[in-house]
Amino acid sequence: MNWTRSTIAGAAVALSIVLFFAVNIASSVWFSSARLDLTRSSLYTVSAGTKQTLQSIPEPITFRFFFSERASVKYSGVRAYGARVRDLLREYASISGGKLKLEIIDPEALSEQEDLAVAQGVTGAPTPSGEKIYFGLVGTNMVSGHEVIPFFLEDREEYLEYDLTNLIYKLIREKKPKIGVVSNLPFDTGVGGMMAAMQGQSRPFMIYEQIKESNDVEFLEQDFDRVPADIDVLMVAQPKALNAKTQYAIDQFIMRGGRALVFLDPWSEISQAGADPSGAPLAGSTPTSANSIDTLMKSWGVSIDPAHIIGVRDRAQRVSFGGDVVNYVAWVGLTVYDMDRKDLVTGELTDINLGTIGAITALKGATTKLAPLLQTSDDTMEIDVNRVKSDPNPDDLLRDFAKSGEKYTIAARIQGPMKSAFPGGPPVESIIPASGQTPKPPLPPFLKETKGDANIILVADTDIFTDHFWVQAQELQGQRVAVPVADNAVFVLNAIENLSGSSALISLRSRGTSNRPFTVVNDIRRRAEQKFLRQEQELQNKMTATQTRLAELEGRRGAAAKPGAGKPQELLTPEQEAEIEKFRAQLVETRGALRDVQRKLRSDIDRLGTWLAAINVLLVPLMIAGTGIVLAFLRRRKPGVPRTGATS
């Protein structure tokens, strides 16, 4: 057979088409889950924690993945996310070595599969055509465990691996850790309190809802003589001033090896959040708790100053004030540079938002070791707590800011041998019941010191629980779904798991948030405000004084012009007229200077935006064009190779 050039060309085209389809089919079969993960927190790479969880499954569990393939054809975003969930589930099944059985179900309308999805708790999202898209997961074990993700929201895609592994963890664990809560905060009802709960309008703190997902929670009244023996971790958060009997009970819990997570605050804004339209705080709320367990704190070797909060200028949160967005130094946004990267609790966190924080200080002669978990930068200042109690002015706090150069500890792990805060034994009220009370069983034996090292995590803030600091809540079929923008809940949950002896999910939960702040822009804005804010205020004061003086002179002229008031010259001399003109000119000049200062506040940011736009629009095309020119130039310079049989 003679192969002409046209025959060879046609065969090459045909082979190219066959090869194209072959490669696509092979890649879809063999490499469907392969991906290159270039995200900062490796959000698309299965972590060691997931592999450990999958390989420790004791007996088979079943995943039923419900996804409406046909109904989602018109929704490319849902289909792409659905493909990612399906691929990740297949990868889970592969890693588990057969312990995870995966069923993929397409619940078409009015089918038995749709009935199964609804019966097992999967939520259908309605479409304009009237059909529903099912996109959820049901996990079951060999006993009676049943866990559901009703619908995979695209906003939670960053947390996909955590959500899946957490579901497995719930199915394989033997029992939930039990958390005892001692608090004067309305965790279970929200800021509306019991009245809102009775009206069916309660909104529990979202951190509390997440704690309940993985733990059994028992609220302990703030007047008890012993901590129940089945409590794994004691969480003390913004309590009222606890009496000696209750502090003794906590003390002995610590002496027996119990673990505690403690949140105290010199000024708790969340405790003062308005429970009604008038803005009045809940009755009996506790505005400060820094010295509510002072006897215990001395034993632990630490203190929190109840009279001051810590302002942090270079970590200030942006807030709306007076129609503008400004830095509020009393609200702090911590970054990776403020966290202990070696501790499991904070090792992979990125952002935590706090409000009106206190500072933890180690006492002289303490037997314990204070290991900071969260610290401020050195751009700090102690602020009298009275300045932030009612309607604080962010601009005033920023103008009056005087850098201390000191780093303050906001959260710390307290470890080491510890002696009882009650060296003489239990207080009288712990032994003798109050009049009319039924006698209780004898107290456990008194311990003078810890058995081994104590392990306590102390946080000098309670506004960490505030929903709007860390989460955007979305409603789905009457259920609230959390989309975090900061790691507040991650910190609390990591601390509980670490103290309860479990760390399976810590590395997963900390893998990233949807908030990616423009740190360069924020730094530019902060420097500009520090430079120009005082100048702006001086110009504002000058302009106000000028306007006031000008109004006085204009008022005198107006009075002189009234009937019977005499001639204007009788009240306004030529010198006064000249003064009016002078003040008018000065007012125009001051307005111009003020506009110039306000323009400078944004000039660096605008310049950065211009450069970024230029890079995006011009630099990449120029780089491609330049590469092409260089390659063309190199080809022209390459010596030619004579053809076989060529004649000279």
Predicted structure pTM score? 0.66
Q: What is the pLDDT of residue 565?
A: 46
Q: Do 214 and 124 fall within a single domain?
A: no
At 401, give phi and psi (nearest 5°).
Answer: -70, 130
Q: What is the pLDDT of residue 155?
A: 78
Q: Do 262 and 134 fall within a single domain?
A: no
Q: Do 134 and 179 fall within a single domain?
A: no
Residues 6+ apart with CB under 8 A from 617: none
Q: Do 85 and 191 fall within a single domain?
A: no
CB 95 within 8 A of CB 206: no
Q: Do 470 and 530 fall within a single domain?
A: no
Number of domains within the chain = 3
The percent of the chain in helix, strand and coil, each rounded to the nearest 5, is 40, 20, 40
Q: What is the pLDDT of residue 539?
A: 61
Q: What is the pLDDT of residue 31?
A: 56
How far, in Å, CA of 408 to CA of 328, rounded? 18
Q: Do 84 and 197 fall within a single domain?
A: no
C-alpha distances (whole Å) from 224 to each of 249, 359, 543 are 7, 29, 62
Q: Do 542 and 507 fall within a single domain?
A: no
DSSP element (H, E) containing 622:
helix 620-637
Q: In one letter, which amino acid is 445?
A: P
351 lies in some domain: no
pLDDT digits 0-9 by tens, 398-415: 989 999 999 999 999 999
Q: Angle, to 10 degrees, between the axis of helix 519-561 and the axis of helix 574-614?
A: 160
Domain endpoint, select from 516, 543, 558: 516
Q: Do 509 and 562 fall within a single domain?
A: no
Domain holding 54, by residue range, is: 33-158
CATH number assigned to the domain comprising residue 190? 3.40.50
Joined tokens for residue 153: 């929201």
How far, in Å, CA of 111 to CA of 113, rounded? 5
Domain endpoint, select from 479, 494, 516: 516
> Can you list the residues of the chain whose pLDDT is less than 50?
33, 277, 512-515, 565-570, 641, 643-648
Joined tokens for residue 536: 């702006």
Q: Do 288 and 426 fall within a single domain?
A: yes
How far, in Å, CA of 101 to CA of 99, rounded? 6
Residue 535 C-alpha from the chain's centroid: 35
CATH number assigned to the domain comprising residue 83? 3.40.30.10
């800011």: which residue's tokens?
A: 401
